[in-house]
Amino acid sequence: MTTRANAPSVSVLARRWLGENATFYLFAAPFAALTIVMGLWPIALSIQTSFTESYTALSPQPTYVGFANYIEVFGDPVFTKSAWLTLRYTVLAVVLNLVIALFYAMFLSSVLLSRGAWIFKLCCFLPVVTPDVAGYIVWKWMYSGDFGAVNAALTALGLPEFGGVSQVSTVTLAILIAEMWYHVGFYVVIFLANFAMLDRTLDEAAHLDKAGFWRKFTRVTLPQLRPAITINSIYALIQFLKTFTVVVVITKGGPGTATNFVSYYAYRQFDQAQYGTATAMATILFSVIMVLAFALYWYNQRRDWR
């Protein structure tokens, strides 16, 4: 029987545990330091700035105004409209990107495509490693009403011209297509990794039971794709809630305020030296992203996919 006197002390256990994990901490320490210095510290400073008067925000002794900036932001009708635009665009972008990525990954995983799959994988993933600004500049040229390739192709086919980024009715679709071109490849790679780990015996059992495609997909394949769906849905939610680069490069928030998303509106406020309200908007967006991401993770973990 082990007595309290013979039991190892807390300090001994701590040294033993640290020794067993020393290699891990040695390699993780630089990245942890970078995360704190380049990630958490700027976030903390941004939150602090959101409670200060804009014209003193960058001074050594800023004037703190409590929640005045947040009250101003929530009372701003432009911010309210911007928030609804952001949420609507995020829902559309997340759903379309994940659905297209899922079925494209299924297509790439098909045994019928075993030989030429690498070509489709390469074409799908190339945009992901392309600089996003360069890619969006090309899309801006393609959407041009004067010399754009999109309208030139439509005209050659005898189809009506596409309004692109110059019309309110088509600008959301235009930037959605550009962002799908850039992001879908990443989601496809995650789905492909999950497809490679599927239990094929379940497919064989479903085949013996004469289950149809849709029943086999929803009852056998989809439940096993939970890890990929969770990762992709959370990443896509974060990515599209903070949509910024495509707006800066292609639309500048227009036409009118049709693409004046929260991140771009906060950027404009910051550019006009409204540091307090700009960081308040950024803090609100950050909080919404964190809450929705954790809620989505919790839902995916608890949901019965069968």
What tens digit of pLDDT does each residue of 284-296 get?
999 999 999 999 8
pLDDT at 266: 96
Domain-by-domain residue ranges, the chain? 1-49, 68-302
pLDDT at 17: 59
pLDDT at 1: 47
What is the pLDDT averaged over residues 246-275?
A: 94
pLDDT above 90 as % of the chain: 61
What tens digit of pLDDT does each residue of 142-173 get?
999 888 999 999 999 999 999 999 999 999 99
- Per-residue pLDDT at 7 exceeds 70: no
What is the spatial distance between Cα 248 and Cα 292, in angstroms, rounded to a whole number?
Answer: 25
CATH of domain 68-302: 1.10.3720.10
Instruction: Name the pLDDT band for 301 (thresholds 50, 70, 90).
Output: confident
- Residue 240 CB neighbour total at 10 angstroms: 21
User: Can you read off the two tokens belonging to residue 238?
Assistant: 């974060």
* Mean pLDDT computed over every residue of the chain: 88
What SS3 string covers 56-75?
HCCCCCCCECCCHHHHHHHC
- Per-residue pLDDT at 138 exceeds 70: yes
What tens digit of pLDDT does each residue of 19-71 get?
667 777 777 888 888 878 888 888 899 999 999 999 888 888 999 999 999 99
What SS3 string covers the chain?
CCCCCCCCCHHHHHHHHHHHCHHHHHHHHHHHHHHHHHHHHHHHHHHHHCCECHHHCCCCCCCECCCHHHHHHHCCHHHHHHHHHHHHHHHHHHHHHHHHHHHHHHHHHCHHHCCCHHHHHHHHHHHHHCCHHHHHHHHHHHCCCCCCHHHHHHHHCCCCCCCHHHCHHHHHHHHHHHHHHHHHHHHHHHHHHHHCCCCHHHHHHHHHCCCCHHHHHHHHHHHHCHHHHHHHHHHHHHHHHCCCHHHHHHHCCCCCCCCCCHHHHHHHHHHCCCHHHHHHHHHHHHHHHHHHHHHHHHHHHHCCCC
- Per-residue pLDDT at 179 exceeds 90: yes
Q: Which of 70, 188, 178 is nearest to 121 (CA)?
A: 188
What tens digit of pLDDT does each residue of 78-104 get?
999 999 999 999 999 999 999 999 999
pLDDT at 238: 94
